[in-house]
Amino acid sequence: MTNQQPQELFTAIDSLLAAVDDGTVLPAPAERVRLREAAGLTPAAVAQALGVRVPSITAWEAGRAEPKGERLQAYRRLLEGLAHRYPATTPPPAAQAPPAPADRAATTAAPAAPTERAAHTEPSASALPTEPTEPAAPAALTEPAAPGVPARQGPARPSAAPPRPATRAAAPRHGSATKSATATAPAPDPRFPHGPLAVVDGDGSAYGTDGIVLDCPATTIPGLVQWTLTESGLGAPRLHRSGRDSDPLIVLTATAAVKFGLPERLEGHEQRRSLRLPADHSVIKQVTKDKWQLTQRGFGPWARIYRKATADRRQCVQLAVLSWDALDERSWPGVTDMHPADIARVLGIYARRVITPRGSTAVCGLELMTALRPPTRAVQDKATGNWVSGYNPGSLGPEAVDPAPPEATAEHPVVVNSGWDGGFLDEEAYQWVRDVELLTDEECTLPYAVGLDLNTAFLAASARLVVGLSAPDHFHHPAFNPKIPGSWLVDLSHIELDPRLPSPFTPDGTRPTGPAWYQTHTLAYAQELGHQITPTRAFLRRETGAYLDPWHDRLKNAYVDTLADLGVTKDLTDAEFLTAMEQHKDADPALAAVLTAIKATVKGGVGKLRERPQGKSYKQGDAWPALQRPTWRPDIRAAVISKARVNMHRKLRNMAKMTGLYPLAVLSDCVVYPSPGDSPLDLLPYDTTTGKPRLGGFRLGPGPGLAKLEGVQTMLWTVDLMEKGLNPARHIKGGDAVLDEGE
């Protein structure tokens, strides 16, 4: 306020006086409650008289929202009448006035709250977006200021929000799941009082997190974007001090899409990633007419609309259209069909624990890496003393680097332009079935086959994983060093292992037949097994670091916390854990959907590190958009998968030593064992003295890398599949278990 000119101060005072004269200043919230209670009126009676919902009255009396238009006048008349009948015995608290127009220039801490439809108190049950083509101010150099524009003084909404349908998937009113999910919420950022996102329906209700419902007066997409940036109070703070705040997310229901001039569905494309509005669509014309821009991806299920960033803040809004399949059913099961309040709850929990959604879960997984390890930070130029953007240590940097030829794909320009024919890195997840000829009579007479699934195996593999941060250098006949990340050309065909176990060196579990490229972790395991490693060539990286550590930590906490909210906690016994896992999806469908999305974020994020070209028009040797990202790093993907496969083999080997049991099949992070009983308790190794699980083998539990039951079938059924050349690990659950590498 100290920088305001006298005329601006006088204007602000005049605005306050005008607000008093116009009758737009209401008594303080506490006085509103006193007057209603003094008259013996219930919130329901007042709500019925004013034609609003009870939560709206609650919000007005709590000071979270103010009535507008005709309802403001009617509510003021009620309060004045009650004040005449029931005068206060002591002076009431000072009345609260709405912010004056002059405050708009002075306010920078947080945007004023828009009209809040109600405080919804009942708990409820892919294309990677291209960054704005206009250059933005370095995120590390400036603290984005909130717009600070007060709520629009528009007309009152003609009707209250519709009641929530009885068929929705809602969370229970009480219970540890809801309480825990709420208790973990951090202190709200004053710049974003209404959370990271809102789900807008056809009548203008914007359902936010924590049960709030805002009034959205916009009728066009440009108006919606403007309202979001200036009045909604939506957004989320950065996850790293050198990063940037998350752009607000607006999710449109089918009715909202139609209201804003969008088709309810987009047809005519074979792939969901190809869904886009045509360039001549009226909504596109509205956007460009108002000087907003779309990213190169256009207006699809996930659309990013922006203007050039100013010196103090970004102007960007992320839109998601539900009826265009923005939320993939595989990653967000049942969410699209939920009530908007429940959708906001699901996405809000995910945003709080992972990141504000900005595309598919695979996109979110990749964006989370960058949000937690920004490529640049503010550094001071010693010569000038000015703060400039510089490299952030431990990150991948702001520029994309080419992979080594064996780390790339066959269509990559590095491979095509160099004529590379030296082979490729083949670090993939297991797809192995034991030869039926190696089954013993004792195994075949066991009654059951039990499938064990490792929780988020890729996430567990990313913990403390040292990867390369710089471009690769080529070496001939280097000495193998297990601490240097890279790709090595080595012949491992001479190594003999037990044929009842898959080879740890190939995805199909067969013995190598000659020299091949391997990631460091695969060779380090061969060395651990006692074999000499003699590389002939290598592509190694000089700058290294545990780039994925913060990514691992955040997703691990999200996964474990969400499981705990569903009743699966670390303190359960193995028998209690198995029972809890059978029931956890029924405890709260909304939280169960969040859990599925978290798991999809892990696998999808790893897969996105080697995103392949899309589209029928692509020609081999041409660069595709993903190559422009610093996070297009197939070597990091290979490192994660290599370590996950090695971890699996180490457990298989230890299980054989401790129990004498050998696997029948492995599919990625699922392994099938012959078993005397229909439970993992019948085959896992336990200490005979303490009764605790023995270290080194598979152990049950909710943490990443621990196991859970995938499914149980008869041994006869399992052997029949093996004889047909099928992998029983894919079918042990009673249906196809999807091998999802995130690509």
What does the pLDDT look like over 674-701, one tens digit per residue? Answer: 999 999 999 999 998 998 999 999 999 9
Question: CB of 311 within 8 A of CB of 326?
Answer: no
Helix pair 43-50, 69-85: axis angle to 10 deg: 130
* pLDDT above 90 as % of the chain: 68
Tokens for 114, please give them: 């828009």
Q: How does residue 8 score in pLDDT terms, banded at 50, 70 and 90?
A: low
Say what the pLDDT of residue 22 is. Answer: 61
- 463 pLDDT band, cuts 50/70/90, is very high
Res 587 pLDDT > 50: yes
> Dihedral sign, CA of 56, 119, 105, 319?
negative
Q: Is the CB of residue 355 less than 8 Å from the CB of residue 367?
A: yes
How far CA 257 is from CA of 116, 299, 300, 411, in Å, comes to 21, 12, 12, 39
- pLDDT of 434 higher than 50: yes
Report whether pLDDT(740) > 70. Answer: no
Tokens of 278: 């045509």
**Coil vs helix vs strand at 490:** strand
Give the separation between CA 272 and CA 299, rounded to whole angstroms: 13
* Mean pLDDT to the nearest integer, 272-285: 85
Of the listed ranges 232-236, 267-271, 349-353, 594-598, the least confidently predicted one is: 267-271
Query: Residues 213-237: what's their mean pLDDT?
Result: 95
pLDDT at 385 over 70: yes
**pLDDT of 417 strictly over 60:** yes
The predicted pLDDT at position 485 comes to 97
What's the confidence (pLDDT) of residue 273?
Answer: 57
Q: What's the average model confidence in pLDDT over 440-456?
A: 96
pLDDT digits (tens, 9 = 90+) for 79-97: 888 988 888 765 444 444 4
Is residue 666 within 8 Å of 438, Cβ to Cβ? no
The rounded distance, in Å, linking the Cα atoms of 545 and 286 is: 47
Confidence of residue 312 (pLDDT cuts 50, 70, 90): low
- Give, to the nearest 10 degrees, the angle between helix 340-353 and helix 589-608: 50
The CA radius of gyration of the chain, in Å to the nearest whole number, is 30
The pLDDT of residue 98 = 41
Q: What is the pLDDT of residue 186?
A: 58
Q: How many residues does the chain have?
A: 743
Q: 555 vs 77, which has greater pLDDT?
A: 555
- State the DSSP code for 271: S
What burial letters (b/e) apply to 155-178, b meaning 16+ CB within 10 Å?
ebbeebbeebeeebbbbeeeeebb
Average pLDDT over residues 635-650: 98
In this prediction, residue 305 carries a pLDDT of 97
What band does 163 get if pLDDT is binned at 50, 70 and 90? very low
**Spatial separation of the C-alpha atoms in residues 419 and 119, rounded to whole Å:** 63
